[in-house]
Amino acid sequence: MITRKKYLDKLIAFQNADLVKVVTGVRRCGKSTLLEMMRQHLSEQGVPDSRLLMFKMESMEFADVVNYRDLYNLVRQRVGGEKRPYLFFDELQNVEGWERAINSLRVDLDCDIYITGSNAFLLSSELATLLSGRYVEIPMQPLMFSEYLDFRGAQLQRGKTSAADVALLSDGSFATLASLFEQYRTFGGFPFLALDAPDEARHRDYLRSIYQTVIVRDIMMRAKRRGQRAVNSQDVLERICGFLSDNIGNETSVNKIAGTLQADGQTATRQTAAFYISTLVEAYLFSHVRRYDLKGRELLKTGGKYYIVDPGMRSYLDNYRNTDTGRVLENIVYNQLKYDEYDVMVGHLRGGEVDFVAMKPREKVYIQVTEDMRDEETMRRELAPLRKIGDEYRKMVVVQDGTYPSDIDGIEIVDAVDFLLHNAKL
């Protein structure tokens, strides 16, 4: 296993705290492996295996566990007389009332609990209800570009410029850093695939399985398992998913999506479109980024943009046509900002827009993203919104191609790869 240190450190930070640790994220982003990493960490600390109990609920071993009483009794039996057991539950959502068992175990046993599960049933919006607030959520994403290089075994050999950087890969071959970024932009960062050189057919098969599992199993089946509102049309759901994927980085409204569906002969109302979009967001396939009025310093109620969880999923949905690469780059920067734990919004100005307003306590960064601004008109267009902002916070253009001054009128110009590898510190 290749350690994903950021997430493991978060679990370790809450080790032995009286909180249920809940790892959330899109399917196959590495949640189950993270539990194994935590289990291994505890073992290396000297915790005996008899106290490290793993329950992989999709295994046939637990096929008879159908409700919370079954689960509670099974765990109590497995724990026996062990003191301070560590309980790991993987894919718990099929157990009816599982949250009641988890709450009872937390109260009745001196134990430490870790959970993952399919996203439709372990959503951040539902956790407070399911676990009575006694939890901490660790949101997990597919690999960022820096992690992708780790998985490829890349040993960087820095050149005079980022364009001259090369890497020795684990298979003994060399690749430029620019070519590795193009591979990442096309094929993304689902961990299983990132261990080897990209192969489109293999990637397509693997992404198809993830997509179908999320659409059919997690979203279409959600109502049957929880008594929630049903997603009645898989065709409409997939059309909306395709629309959001085609329009990453574009301002999108529910009314526009409903109108597009109606023009295609669907009977979807605005309310239906909004509900279907919410299921895709809840399943972590997409994130909704709200608009922020830079003059009024407030969030706007309408509009906003959607970004996809991984560039490889976008390629799959786009049939590998490699279109709109500039907006895919913008999406990658957004995912990186989320990974770096910024609150991210779209900056709204009269007659202009800032791609991202990224905030942390006592910190704010205004960011524009572009593939290339060697053309004078493109440079003017990218810099213009940032020049309109009069406060003292950092302003930055993240650009992939070309060579530029590091600073133009107080605006930082940062190479995209340097930004993603944290060579340009936020």
In a domain, 407, yes or no: yes
Q: Is residue 394 part of a domain?
A: yes
Segment among 10-14, 111-115, 331-335, 347-351 with least mean pLDDT: 347-351
pLDDT category at 232 given cuts 50, 70, 90 is confident
Q: For residue 315, what pLDDT is reported?
A: 98
Question: Looking at per-residue confidence, does 316 or 95 come out higher?
Answer: 316
Residue 169 counted as domain residue = no
The pLDDT of residue 320? 97
CA 31 to chain centre: 12
Closest CA to 231 of 277, 284, 276: 276
One-letter identity of residue 41? H
Minimum mean pLDDT range among 114-123, 165-174, 290-299, 315-324: 114-123
| Cβ(346)–Cβ(292) below 8 Å | yes
Most confident of 99-103, 238-242, 264-268: 238-242
87, 109, 139 — which closes off a domain?
139
Mean pLDDT of 169-183: 92
Task: Compute the distance between CA of residue 184 and CA of residue 190 in angstroms, rounded to an integer.
Answer: 10
- Residue 160 resides in a domain: no
**Which CATH number do you get for residue 334?**
3.40.1350
In the DSSP assignment, the letter for residue 176 is: E
Lowest mean pLDDT among 106-120, 174-188, 361-375: 106-120
Average pLDDT estimate for 147-156:
94
When the pLDDT of each residue in the chain is averaged and rounded to a whole number, the result is 91
Q: Which residue has 């039996």 as its token pair?
A: 77
pLDDT-wise least confident of 89-93, 203-207, 242-246, 333-337: 89-93
Helix (H, G, I), strand (E, B) or coil at 216: helix
* Contacts of range 202-207, beta carbons closer than 8 Å, 24 or more positions apart: 203/312, 203/315, 203/316, 204/316, 204/320, 207/312, 207/313, 207/315, 207/316
Number of domains in the chain: 2
The answer on pLDDT for 288 being more than 90 is yes
Phi, psi (rounded to 5 degrees) for 322: 60, 45
CATH for 36: 3.40.50.300
By CB atoms closer than 10 A (0-12, 13-18, 19+), residue 264 is exposed
Residue where a domain stops, chosen among 139, 157, 187: 139
**pLDDT over 90 for what percent of the chain?**
74
Say whether pLDDT at 50 is over 90: yes
Q: Please give the Cα distance from 11 to 23 (Å, whole number).
A: 9
CA distances (Å), origin 86, targets 46, 80, 145, 168: 13, 13, 33, 40
Percent of the chain clearing pLDDT 70 (strictly above): 94
Q: In which residue are the tokens 């500039």 written?
A: 326
Ramachandran class of 149: left when φ > 0, alpha when ψ lies in -120 to 50, beta otherwise: alpha
Please tell me the predicted confidence (pLDDT) of residue 225: 54
More confident residue, 268 or 319: 319
Q: Is residue 99 part of a domain?
A: yes
Range of the domain at 335: 325-420
Give the residue from 112, 139, 166 where a domain finishes: 139
pLDDT at 242 over 80: yes
Tokens 């597009």 locate to 260
Q: What local confidence, expressed as pLDDT, does residue 390 receive?
A: 87
Whether residue 19 is predicted with pLDDT greater than 80 in this model: the reply is yes
Report pLDDT for 266. Answer: 85
On whether residue 106 sits in a domain, the answer given is: yes
- Mean pLDDT of the 179-199 span: 96
Cα separation, 78 vs 402, whole angstroms: 61
Q: Is residue 145 part of a domain?
A: no
CB 196 within 8 A of CB 203: no
pLDDT tens-digit readout, 313-346: 999 999 999 999 999 999 999 999 999 999 999 9
> How buried is residue 293: exposed, middle or buried, by Cβ count under 10 Å (0-12/13-18/19+)?
middle
Please check whether residue 147 lies inside any domain of the structure. no
Q: How confident is the model at residue 1 (pLDDT cuts 50, 70, 90)?
A: confident
* Helix or strand run (H / E) with residue 345: strand 343-349
pLDDT at 158 over 80: no
Question: Among 262, 256, 248, 397, which Cα is nearest to 328's?
Answer: 248
